[in-house]
Amino acid sequence: MTDKRPLRSAQWFGTTDKNGFMYRSWMKNQGIPDHEFQGKPIIGICNTWSELTPCNAHFRKIAEHVKKGVLEAGGYPVEFPVFSNGESNLRPTAMLTRNLASMDVEESIRGNPVDAVVLLVGCDKTTPALLMGAASCDVPTIVVTGGPMLNGKHKGRDIGAGTIVWQMHEQYKAGQIDLNEFLSAEAGMSRSAGTCNTMGTASTMACMAEALGTSLPHNAAIPAVDSRRYVLAHLSGMRIVEMVHEDLRLSKVLTKQAFENAIRVNAAIGGSTNAVIHLKAIAGRIGVDLELDDWTRIGRGMPTLVDLQPSGRFLMEEFYYAGGLPAVIRRLGENNLLPNPDALTVNGKSLWGNCAQAPIYGQDEVIRTLDNPLRKDGGICVLRGNLAPSGAVLKPSAATPELMKHRGRAVVFEDFDDYKARIADPDLDVDETCVLVMKNCGPKGYPGMAEVGNMGLPPKVLAKGITDMVRISDARMSGTAYGTVVLHVAPEAAAGGPLAVVRNGDFIELDCYEGRLHLDIPDAELQERLAAWQAPEGLLWDGGYRRLFVEHVMQADEGCDFDFLVGCRGAGVPRHSH
């Protein structure tokens, strides 16, 4: 396909003046012949490879396959590294550096001679970070995910990454298994390359990228080590070159309609609560107005069809074999539940055009039917009330139905350290009817909003065989976790939200059916407590990125982006420095 539109990269390589000489000359030290600079689209491969991000540690091989596709289609690939947010190692939380990574991506794209980018993503935060950065530039963009691990194996049964850790740790604390048994599952859980194989945040965001139309079909679920993952990488490399010629920029794909489709799909897959924050942040970067209440309007009441852990039984490997995300989208569309079937995707076809004929395997066990869903009550439950004026969320498919309407006495922890210090105290005044409340774990309070919202239960409650209690915090929760857990309370305690003034013994009412989270004290008393509230000491760090983070991070309902990063700034080429 020929194209008359001037390439962005020509502003570096397309001149015969001093600057053109310099740009080409230094690139030629890599052995690039002159003809590669003669008008071929330059495709950036934005790589989050890192040995400290084990979920993305196989990405060099994926990049090689993307390159083959780019070359075959007549482009020239250039691979570059960006900050890699590995969920498992990074302290205090990979969420702290999601925005940092997005800034790295944005400026790497804008400042370099690339006409389009392929985003290599996998571990949880890498997907939103790279999409946020690319959205702020709005060049043609295609997502290639690293894929999930093979099923974990332990003692002859399948185990899910992350979810088994929470389960076995609870069992260990309750005295049901010993330490050897607990530790013996480590190697079996992570036995291949790839991301967590449950419907945790990584898989959820991979599904979101596909539902948004930013990847080729099947990108979300092909296992990391399946040769078809490399075929998809190759085809993505070919397609991105065509997207340059078609000027198919991200803003043509990431429309409000695309986000509405993604919200509905998130309900159908039983996706992570983290998607609420990440989709808002991505939408903000491309200029789409996405509100917390859109999750109620579009997703609430939608049955969960995909029977994957942590809500259900299976893992991503079975999900792929059952037909993957195209099969889910087909099931939605056939039941008139796909809000915007005509939404454009990166292959130039509509979402429905890609999925209408998708095969569904597995006897409707993994991808269930509308009349036999995993949970009738899926989606994300958005809560509001005097305890969360700007909102909070709960994942119904991971909750205990009997607890979704509950009134209980608050047992309050001032922060995560306080929780850790006292939760196992035999004298803690708590029983299973209480509501565990944890403060100061939000975006500013923890900084980074750690995934600590699924507080483990007090051992003396666990010992009774109780497995769930209502828990409320301004924290996030791992997508692999479960329970009747109210998260993302906004404004957070550290910003002076009402959560900050909850006291031991207060009664709290949770009603997921009415979307209500209420602190049962007189309004005058609430106002009195709020007026007397003082910000916790030590909130502002001495300096560095963490100070920038605390000063500029927005609340959970606003996507936790930095206030100065919201918006699409485009890929206008910066002026020469020489």
Footprint of ligand FES on this chain (CB under 6 A)?
A: 55, 87-88, 123-124, 162, 195-196, 200, 202
Compute, in degrees rounded to 10, the torsion defined by CA atoms 182, 185, 187, 188: 180
Inter-CA distances, 274 with 141, 164, 372, 440, Å: 23, 19, 26, 18
Whole-number minimum distance, CB 55 to ligand FES, in Å? 3
| Least Cβ distance, residue 351 to ligand FES (angstroms) | 25
Amino acid letter at 480? T
Q: Which is nearer to ligand FES, 121 or 434 (CB)?
A: 121
- Encoded amino acid at 94, one letter: A
CB closer to ligand FES out of 9 and 203 = 203
Q: Indicate the residue among 132 and 338 with the shorter CB distance to ligand FES.
A: 132
Nearest to 352 by CA among 380, 333, 337: 333
Residue 258: CB minimum distance to ligand FES, A: 23
From the CB of 148, what's the least distance to ligand FES, in Å?
8
To ligand FES, the closest distance from the beta carbon of 89 in angstroms equals: 9
Asked if residue 530 lies in contact with residue 249, where contact means CB atoms within 8 angstroms, the answer is no
Residues near 229 by Cβ (< 8 Å), separated by ≥ 6? 62, 146, 147, 222, 223
Closest distance between ligand FES and the C-beta of residue 232, in Å? 18
Q: How far is the CB of 382 from ligand FES (least distance, A)?
A: 25
Q: 359, exposed or middle or buried, with CB in 10 Å at 0-12, 13-18, 19+?
A: exposed
Q: Which is nearer to ligand FES, 53 or 261 (CB)?
A: 53
Residue 245: CB minimum distance to ligand FES, A: 34
Please give, one letter per residue, the 3-state secondary structure of 103-137.
Answer: HHHHHHHHHCCCCEEEEEECCCCHHHHHHHHHHHH
In the bound state with ligand FES, the residue whose beta carbon lies nearer, of 161 and 279, is 161
User: Which residues have a Cβ under 8 Å from the Cβ of 244 and sit 6 or more positions away?
Assistant: 3, 7, 41, 43, 75, 115, 116, 140
- Taking the least distance from each CB to ligand FES, the nearer of 55 and 565 is 55
For residues 55 and 481, which CB has a smaller minimum distance to ligand FES in the complex? 55
Residue among 87 and 294 whose Cβ is closer to ligand FES:
87
End-to-end Cα separation, the chain, in angstroms: 35
The whole-angstrom separation of Cα 506 and Cα 484 is 19
CB 93 within 8 A of CB 560: no
Residue for token pair 């309007």: 297
Angle at 533 between CA 454 and CA 409, to 5 degrees: 45
Closest separation between CB of residue 475 and ligand FES, Å? 17
Nearer to ligand FES by Cβ, of 160 and 339: the residue is 160
Q: What is the CA radius of gyration of the chain?
A: 24
Q: How far is the CB of 147 from ligand FES (least distance, A)?
A: 11
CA separation, residue 51 to residues 48, 137, 333, 377 (Å):
10, 28, 40, 39
Residue whose CB is less far from ligand FES, 161 or 306? 161
Compute the distance between CA of residue 464 and CA of residue 469 in angstroms, rounded to an integer: 13
Torsion of CA 288, 289, 295, 299, to 10 degrees: -50
Select from 371, 372, 220, 365 the least CA-distant residue to 307: 365
Q: Any idea what DSSP says for residue 403? A: G
CA 320, distance to chain mean position in Å, is 19
Which residue, 57 or 556, is less far from ligand FES as judged by CB? 57
Give the integer Cα–Cα distance in Å for 385 and 370. 32
DSSP code per residue over 135-165: HHHT--EEEEE--BPPPEEETTEEE-TTHHH
Whether 370 and 333 have beta carbons less than 8 Å apart is answered as no
CB of 517 to ligand FES, least distance (A): 29
**CB closer to ligand FES out of 202 and 275:** 202
State the minimum distance, in angstroms, from the CB of residue 197 to ligand FES. Answer: 9
Nearer to ligand FES, 152 or 445 (CB): 152
In angstroms, give the least distance from the CB of 284 to ligand FES: 24
For ligand FES, which is the closer residue by CB, 215 or 440?
Answer: 215
Neighbours of 335 (CB within 10 A): 13
* Residue ranges in 443-556 assigned as alpha helix (H): 459-462, 523-532, 544-552
- C-beta of 132: minimal distance to ligand FES in Å? 18
- In the complex with ligand FES, the residue whose CB is nearer, 114 or 185, is 185
Two structure tokens written together for 315: 């893992």
Least distance to ligand FES, CB of residue 346, Å: 23
